[in-house]
A and B are shown apart, each in its own frame.
Chain A
């Protein structure tokens, strides 16, 4: 399915929650959505028979310096098409609803985004640090992260 057609479908259904289509230079193209309605839209994308995006390929946190984003890469096993979905978040309070009940695959990705960016996924069934130790300070993939000098007395 063409990204433009998909965008129009979503726009017709969700109105202002669907912000724009980010196609220039992006492959696959991204549908930018409002963070608050991520879960609704995700469920629609999965359940609509014409779309049926049944697999979440990748979920990544991104730090665009002035704001954060969460990017979802979706793929449909049935129709063999792919699309991206993106939600921009403010730097100060990066939080959005979880999608792990839509795609169970999301859980580990969300934990990783939480661990490395500090993005909070509300309603997640298990949101803990996944890669770094529990008592690690800060979120290393943020652009303003300062490398610590010592961790448990060992030079970093």
Chain B
């Protein structure tokens, strides 16, 4: 995003705002989707984050890229949503089973080996705690550099690297463990 367009956005130029939205909405949507793992929630979060970013545009100092800054705002929004979701889940827990998990495991079409591996990997990733899962998603889904990840998460570069290596170690181990009994059965 060039500085000129941003300056025009700050001044309230509707054309500039329109092109800012156009340029960033899809990546922002994918970002929220990857944190929330739910398209409808991701739509809301994208909306909320973008508007929050526009309102806070004066705080953007161009030390990081606009996208990185936008992601860091969206991360906060998504965390808020996750918190609410946890609260809702706690309230609903007594009466209802967890729908999402049920729907997942009742899918019988998991035949292809490649697909099976990839699904097992997704499950292993979703079991990581947040501080290890987020860097993995930002690196391997959003293809951010470690420097950009550090900016989005507000942690330093060394911490990003150590979280990523620990996550890779976990994921590698989990996958091997998941594969072992199946190989023995064949």
The yes or no verdict on A and B being binding partners is no
Taking beta carbons and an 8 Å cutoff, which residues of A are in contact with B?
none
Taking beta carbons and an 8 Å cutoff, which residues of B are in contact with A?
none
